[in-house]
Copies of this chain bind each other. A is one copy, B any other.
Amino acid sequence: MPGTIGIFDSGVGGLTVLTALRERLPSQDYLYLGDTARLPYGSKSSTTIRRYALKAAEHLFRHDIRLLVVACNTASAFALPALIKISPVPVLGVVEPGVRAALAGGARKVAIIGTEGTIRSGAYQKAIRRLAPEVSVTAAPCPLFVPLAEEGWGDHPITDQVAEIYLRPLLETGLEAIILGCTHYPLLKPSLTRVAGPDVSLIDSATAVTDAVIRLSGGSTTGRTGTGRVVIHLTDASDRFRRIARAILGSDPKNLEVIDL
């Protein structure tokens, strides 16, 4: 498929989505924009989140993308309708793909975990009620999960204990699936799996949105051969962001440019 896929996130967590996409669509070109100068979005108000998301999308449109993937759950939850309204290209958020993946697995008792913003938005809860009104939904904000992931403590006794505190009340309802409603959370899978146990599926936004992109591209994962070009734009590039990006990508990010929105 010709053309560049634009991926937008508030920070570098959305690189988990870029990585998942590249595994399935390696010949594709990608432009990733992380709004690191203004992250996190998760603790901020809906007005501010929408304003930031629109600015970021305009930057990607100027780079002639053929599809916009909103990898940030908070931005997907609050700004998707506003983004669709101004977008000259198709827009995919992470909320609906995550919900569809949970339902496809047959879960009838589902929990959503995410930032305070994402949970407060009710976007996941609404999507489940719309797509499968018979499914029961609970939700919990987990504000410490992003800092724990960024500290590199995805497999750590402290993260296990924090996850116990956040998830225990949900798990006691007899859950079948937890939607990881934040791009950082897959980094915590070792701890989350220990706490949630083997009977609860953890639904990863990155995998779910990749399936949606492939569906939108007519189901083909082949097409052009070779390796596509990946460009990363960040609004701030501190050592910390570079380190986290390296941890997610498995190598130093190439073609990294600091831009001003």
- Chain B residue at minimum C-beta to C-beta distance from A162: B158
Q: Is A43 an interface residue (CB 8 A)?
A: yes
Tell whether, in the assembled complex, residue A238 and residue B161 are in contact, meaning their CB atoms are under 8 Å apart: no
Q: Is A45 an interface residue (CB 8 A)?
A: yes
Q: Is A116 an interface residue (CB 8 A)?
A: yes
Q: Is A199 an interface residue (CB 8 A)?
A: no
Q: Is A239 an interface residue (CB 8 A)?
A: yes
Given known contacts A147-B143, A147-B147, is B45 in contact with A238 (CB within 8 Å)? Answer: yes
Q: Is A130 an interface residue (CB 8 A)?
A: no
> How many angstroms from the CA of A261 to the CA of B165 in the assembled complex?
38
Q: Is A215 an interface residue (CB 8 A)?
A: no
A61: chain B residues at CB < 8 Å are: none
Tell whether, in the assembled complex, residue B238 and residue A43 are in contact, meaning their CB atoms are under 8 Å apart: yes
Tell whether, in the assembled complex, residue B117 and residue A238 are in contact, meaning their CB atoms are under 8 Å apart: yes
Which residues of A from 113 to 159 have beta carbons under 8 Å from B?
Answer: 116-117, 120, 143-144, 146-148, 150-151, 157-158
Quick one: copies of this chain in the complex?
2
Given known contacts A45-B238, A236-B44, is B158 in contact with A148 (CB within 8 Å)? Answer: no
Q: Is A37 an interface residue (CB 8 A)?
A: yes
- Chain B residue at minimum C-beta to C-beta distance from A153: B144
Q: Is A38 an interface residue (CB 8 A)?
A: yes
Q: Using C-beta atoms within 8 Å of the partner chain, give the interface range for chain A.
A: 20 to 34
Closest approach, in angstroms, between the C-beta of A16 and any C-beta of chain B? 18
Given known contacts A38-B37, A48-B37, A150-B143, is B240 in contact with A43 (CB within 8 Å)? Answer: yes
> How many angstroms from the CA of A213 to the CA of B231 in the assembled complex?
48
> In the complex, which of the residues B38, B143, B237 contacts A38, with contact meaning CB atoms closer than 8 Å?
B38
> How many angstroms from the CA of A240 to the CA of B236 in the assembled complex?
24
Closest approach, in angstroms, between the C-beta of A160 and any C-beta of chain B? 11
Tell whether, in the assembled complex, residue A236 and residue B144 are in contact, meaning their CB atoms are under 8 Å apart: no
Tell whether, in the assembled complex, residue B158 and residue A151 are in contact, meaning their CB atoms are under 8 Å apart: no
Which residues of A from 202 to 237 have beta carbons under 8 Å from B?
Answer: 235-237
> How many angstroms from the CA of A165 to the CA of B238 in the assembled complex?
24
Binding site for B on A (CB under 8 A): 36-38, 43-45, 48, 116-117, 120, 143-144, 146-148, 150-151, 157-158, 161-162, 165, 235-241
13 of the cross-chain contacts (CB-CB < 8 Å) are: A37-B38, A37-B44, A37-B48, A43-B150, A45-B236, A45-B237, A116-B238, A116-B240, A143-B150, A144-B147, A144-B148, A144-B151, A158-B158
